[in-house]
Amino acid sequence: MTLVIDAHNHIGPRTGAGQTGAELVAKMDQAGVRKGVIFPFVEGNFTNDAVKVAYDEFPDRLIPYCAVNAWEPGAAAEVRRCVKEWGFKGLKLHPTINGYHLADPKLCNPLFEEAGDLGIPIIVHGASDLFNAPPEFAEMARRFPRVKLLMAHMGFFWGVEQAIAYAQELPNLYLETSRAPIHEITTAVRELPPGKVIWGTDSPFVDYEWEFKKMERCSKDPATYAAVVGGTIAEILNIAA
Ligand SMILES: [Zn+2]
């Protein structure tokens, strides 16, 4: 059976949204999704506590990442603490909401160094906004070749073609599909080598089932489909099928 892993979900409280581990697992069960990557909402003053609670409750279903605000002086230490003490598997950043350029050397180099030392991937909000446009990803992927970097939303709206070109050029840059339309996803899957496009939903901000169902159209090749909906992120996170 295809190993299906959702690479992008938010857990915790947030004004206007919010999601618990149990709520997410119920959506995953209904859609036939085996595992889900989870991280906090990053608006305002956030912590990683709700992710820890959800992971403790569903250790076989949920894959915890921490999130930090790069402006916080203790950001790199918090990444290390979450990985070393809590067993977290990755890092989420949101340059636009927290207000910094992804390629800012003083703010982000220490976080990428830490992720490289810890051997964890980084997923970054990657719509075509100023602070995290595709060239900022390319710069960081070049600067830190040992860090696997996922561009969430694959540069949608205006940066998709740039995102595809950079993912083609840089072995450690991956495109994550949440909230992108199937036309753009199909284009990325067709133009890129295998193992570069990764499925995620961005729950709870989506119709969960639809975000999964739309992926049936991403490729007619079963092996390619399996890589997109779980195989590639499983390799990155060393998850056995
Ligand atoms: Zn998100």
User: 3-class DSSP state for residue 213?
Assistant: helix
The ranges assigned to domains in the chain are 5-236
User: What is the predicted pLDDT for the residue at 126?
Assistant: 98
Q: Which strand (E) or helix (H) includes residue 91?
A: strand 90-93
**142 CA distance to ligand 1 middle (Å):** 24
> 101, 93 in Cβ contact below 8 A?
no
Query: In the prediction, which pLDDT does 1 show?
Result: 80
* 30 CA to centre of ligand 1 in angstroms: 21
**Residue 195 zone, left/alpha/beta (φ > 0; ψ -120 to 50; rest):** left
What is the CA(143)–ligand 1 centre distance, in A? 24
Centre of ligand 1 to C-alpha 170, Å, is 23
- State the distance from the centre of ligand 1 to the C-alpha of 220, rounded, in angstroms: 27
Q: Which CATH class is domain 5-236?
A: alpha beta
Distance (Å, whole) CA 225 – CA 222:
5
Phi-psi category of 106—alpha, beta or left, where left has phi over 0 and alpha has psi -120 to 50?
alpha
94 CA distance to ligand 1 middle (Å): 9
Model pLDDT, residue 64: 98
> pLDDT (tens digit, 0 to 9) for every residue of the chain, 241 residues total?
899 999 999 999 999 999 999 999 999 999 999 999 999 999 999 999 999 999 999 999 999 999 999 999 999 999 999 999 999 999 999 999 999 999 999 999 999 999 999 999 999 999 999 999 999 999 999 999 999 999 999 999 999 999 999 999 999 999 999 999 999 999 999 999 999 999 999 999 999 999 999 999 999 999 999 999 999 999 999 998 7
In the prediction, which pLDDT does 141 show?
98
Ligand 1 mean position, distance from CA 125 (Å) = 7
Task: Provide the pLDDT for residue 240.
Answer: 87
Q: Please list, in sequence order, all residues whose beta carbon lies within 8 angstroms of the beta carbon of residue 65, skipping any fewer than 6 positions away.
A: 37, 38, 39, 51, 88, 89, 90, 91, 92, 120, 123
Q: What pLDDT sits at residue 223?
A: 97
